Amino acid sequence: MSETRVFLLPDLGEGLTEAELVSWHVSVGDSISVDQPIAEVETAKSTVEVPSPYAGIVAELHGRPGETLDVGKPLISVVEPVSSVEPVETKPVETSEPETEPVETELGDPLVEPLETKPVETKEAETYREEEKAGSGNVLIGYGTPGGHGVARRTRARKESVAVVEPEVSTSSTTEDDLTLLRTRVPGKLGAVISPLVRRMAREHGVDLGELPGSGEGGLIMRKDVEAAILPQTLQARPGNPAVVAPTPSNNVEAPEGGVDARTGLIISSRTPVKGVRKAVAANMARSRSEIPEATVWVDVDATALVELRQELKAGGSAPGLLAFIARFVTAGLRKYPELNTRIETASDGSQEIVSFDGINLGIAAQTDRGLVVPSVRSAEKLTARELDAEIRRLTDVARQGKGTPTQLGSGTFTLNNYGVFGVDGSAAIINHPEVAILGVGRIIDKPWVVNGELAVRKVTELTLTFDHRICDGGVAAGFLRLVADAIENPTSLLADI
């Protein structure tokens, strides 16, 4: 006799609802121990290793590398033998796997798309939940801590059960148009009409699926089949081409691998899913633009004195980077203008309040292979320029390795963005929600500058401050920007402690 335990993907912190499976560290049949890393997953915040709360033999891996898994869904099934002399019986637990119907990918291969089903409660599943409550002692966020809070937190509402008929059509989600479209199929071939995406595309472009042969296995209608049928309509609709006759599936001419875009008529070269860090950045930036009435002010600054100061320090040994000096000036500015180091919170009744902080967590925008991330230097106002330089370098290195924790990547109160490294002078940056301001620094280049009434060549940069106009007016923003600019032009006034 043996018991099968199913480990659900835990909440990995900050309410994240999904994670991409990067790689498995174990295979089916492997013997694993408690807290042994079993998989590496990538969230919108970082890449982490997930340890197992159970010991035993791996019975099933619920996912393939590259797949996006929902929090609370099965990750791995582990068989725990009751006795070492008894054979291992890999009887899988009913893990409420949903009914599925194939969905076509960009390459024309069918995948599996779940229909909306209600998980079936089983004795084994209930036993698993009770065992999971006991905890493994592992300290990964979301599960395994002593005292029971081990069950993965539900982050999505349970969906209503549906009746499944032949063919597999969800009567609760299929529209009347979809049902009408399905009825046009020849009896016995209803299964050739696949995903709602294909049905919707056909309906929107007037393609009769009942007359459309499928290029997939067993006559399965793929996305490219519908796109190929749409192509003749697109060509004929162009001005000056009323008599164009384009190839159709009935001519046995295959459509391009990537399909044809219905709006532009161009061949689609590729499709890239928006996920991971890119998905999180997109959502955050869209929310920032939709919620924050932002305004931007900027100023050109003579950074010659700062550049010369750093060269002098470097000649005597080591010196902080220019960004660390500017970070030091920013913390001084935020202490004088604390309005820019706050956050707006909206209550359920619609009322708003400004939240102020006793301290500054300075976010440093860093470009990585995974996208733009913002690790933050905690209590930055307490650090010298040299200490800021060391911490900025450490955090950006961690972020570029994809090892930043949710706390490191999501705790900032103000962001400093050095886009000058990309060779540009200025940018109207988008505020990193829920912060209320972001300061951008352009490249430092030689420019003509008037010094004491005479024209000279100086090291000039541009500072750009984007701020939330709900928090303050232009006077506060300009005062902060001018303080930072003056410190760059006369750095010794604020760098007595370096």
Known catalytic residues are 469
- CA-nearest of 54, 50, 56, 58 to 27 is 58
Tokens for 468, please give them: 């939330």
Tokens for 445, please give them: 């280049």
With tokens 């000649």, the residue in question is: 315
**Ramachandran region of residue 402, left (φ > 0), alpha (ψ -120 to 50) or beta?**
left
**Ramachandran region of residue 219, left (φ > 0), alpha (ψ -120 to 50) or beta?**
left
Alpha helices by DSSP H, 214-342: 223-236, 276-291, 304-315, 322-336
CA-CA distance, 168 to 116, in Å (whole number)? 11
End-to-end CA distance of the chain: 69
Tokens for 244, please give them: 């164009």
Name the phi and psi angles at 80, rounded to 5: -110, 110
With tokens 């875009």, the residue in question is: 261
Positive or negative CA dihedral for 26, 29, 33, 34?
positive
Tokens for 207, please give them: 């393609």
- 192 within 8 A of 185, measured Cβ to Cβ: yes
